[in-house]
């Protein structure tokens, strides 16, 4: 049984991007449908002509103003007016927001507090799901590391918490308002699930270890050299602290 021909097949035929086995099937279809074959042959011709029309632009030498070095030196020597406005706005938001939220219970939107909340939210979705919580199981650790490192744009390592009694149970990429984060899951004593969530930090590039709680979950969060960590589990904070120390020691060795 073959999959029916779709417009995606026809476009891939025009672009010569069909895998060989599919190509034969589409060729067979075109042999039976000369009208379509004519149309596609014309479109392939158009494709070549259009590609040729603008080819000369790409061999023009690029203007020196477009060199990244030139742009960077501009940025550094002359702060632009919009940067000044952006800075002023940030200050205003910082003061106003900080004052406005002095009594509020809104979750923090940035920094280490935000990371703890993101880790907690993702914990509640994924960590409780024993079957499908992890995208990559413990046996696919290398793939998980490659994938998350690439998406986070920095090298990520899976902490080894066996000494603390937590067995690595896989991990996944999770979404946060600050971009992707890596989440590693562990199975601990009396079927406790523990999560280590890590992502690059824009604001709190270095922050000391902070404990917090959300319902039944305890969190220990910190940031080192631009990378934030948050440990989440339904265990007493004191127990998480020793785990956090282990993670921190290992991350500093990477």
Partner 1 sequence: MDARAALIEPLIPGLRRYARAWLRDAATADDLVQDCLERAVGSWRKRHGDAVRPWLYAILHNLLVDHGRRQARRGTPVAIDTVADAVLAVPAEQSTGIEHSDLMRALDILPADQRAAILLVSVEDLSYAEAAAILGVPTGTLMSRLSRGRDRLSELIGAGERPKLRRVK
Binding site for partner 1 (CB under 8 A): 7-8, 10-12, 14-15, 17, 38-39, 42-43, 45-47, 49-51, 53-55, 57-60, 62-63, 65-69, 71-72, 74-75, 150-154, 179-180, 200, 202
Here the tokens at position 254 are: 């990477």
Contacts of 206-213 spanning 24+ positions with Cβ under 8 A:
207/111, 207/112, 209/241, 209/244, 209/248, 210/112, 210/113, 210/116, 211/237, 211/240, 211/241, 212/113, 212/116, 213/237
The CB-of-6 to partner 1 minimum distance in angstroms stands at 8
The CB-of-158 to partner 1 minimum distance in angstroms stands at 18
The CB-of-97 to partner 1 minimum distance in angstroms stands at 20
Sign, CA dihedral 8-9-15-21, equals positive
Of 25 and 44, which CB lies nearer to partner 1 in the complex structure? 44
Residue tagged 């744009």 (tokens): 153
Which residues touch 131 (CB under 8 Å, ≥6 apart)?
none
Of 32 and 60, which CB lies nearer to partner 1 in the complex structure? 60
Which residues touch 154 (CB under 8 Å, ≥6 apart)?
200, 226, 227
The CB-of-16 to partner 1 minimum distance in angstroms stands at 10
Residue tagged 């049984």 (tokens): 1
Of 7 and 21, which CB lies nearer to partner 1 in the complex structure? 7
Q: Measured between alpha carbons, how far is 221 from 119 in angstroms, rounded to an integer?
A: 9
The CB-of-78 to partner 1 minimum distance in angstroms stands at 12
Of 158 and 164, which CB lies nearer to partner 1 in the complex structure? 158
Quick one: DSSP state of residue 124? Answer: I
The CB-of-82 to partner 1 minimum distance in angstroms stands at 10
Of 124 and 205, which CB lies nearer to partner 1 in the complex structure? 205
- C-beta atoms surrounding 225 within 10 Å: 10
Of 20 and 177, which CB lies nearer to partner 1 in the complex structure? 177
């Amino acid at each position: 049984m073959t999959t029916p021909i779709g417009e995606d097949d026809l476009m891939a035929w025009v672009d010569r991007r069909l895998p060989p086995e599919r190509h034969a099937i589409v060729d067979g279809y075109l042999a039976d449908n000369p009208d379509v074959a004519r149309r596609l042959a014309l479109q392939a011709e158009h494709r070549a002509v259009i590609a040729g029309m603008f080819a000369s632009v790409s061999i023009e030498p690029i203007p020196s103003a477009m060199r990244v070095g030139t742009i960077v030196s501009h940025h550094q020597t002359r702060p632009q007016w919009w940067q000044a406005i952006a800075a002023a706005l940030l200050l205003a938001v910082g003061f106003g927001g900080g004052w406005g939220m002095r009594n509020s219970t809104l979750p923090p939107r940035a920094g280490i507090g935000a990371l703890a909340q993101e880790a907690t939210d993702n914990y509640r979705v994924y960590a409780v799901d024993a079957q499908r919580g992890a995208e990559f199981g413990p046996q696919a650790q290398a793939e998980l590391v490659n994938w998350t490192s690439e998406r986070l744009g920095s090298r990520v390592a899976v902490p080894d918490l066996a000494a603390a009694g937590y067995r690595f149970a896989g991990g996944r990429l999770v979404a946060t308002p600050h971009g992707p984060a890596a989440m590693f899951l562990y199975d601990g004593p009396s079927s406790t699930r523990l999560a280590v969530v890590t992502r690059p930090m824009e604001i709190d590039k270095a922050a000391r270890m902070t404990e917090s709680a959300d319902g039944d979950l305890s969190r220990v969060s910190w940031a080192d050299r631009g990378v934030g960590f948050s440990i989440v589990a339904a265990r007493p904070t004191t127990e998480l602290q020793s785990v956090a120390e282990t993670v921190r020691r290992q991350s500093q060795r990477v």
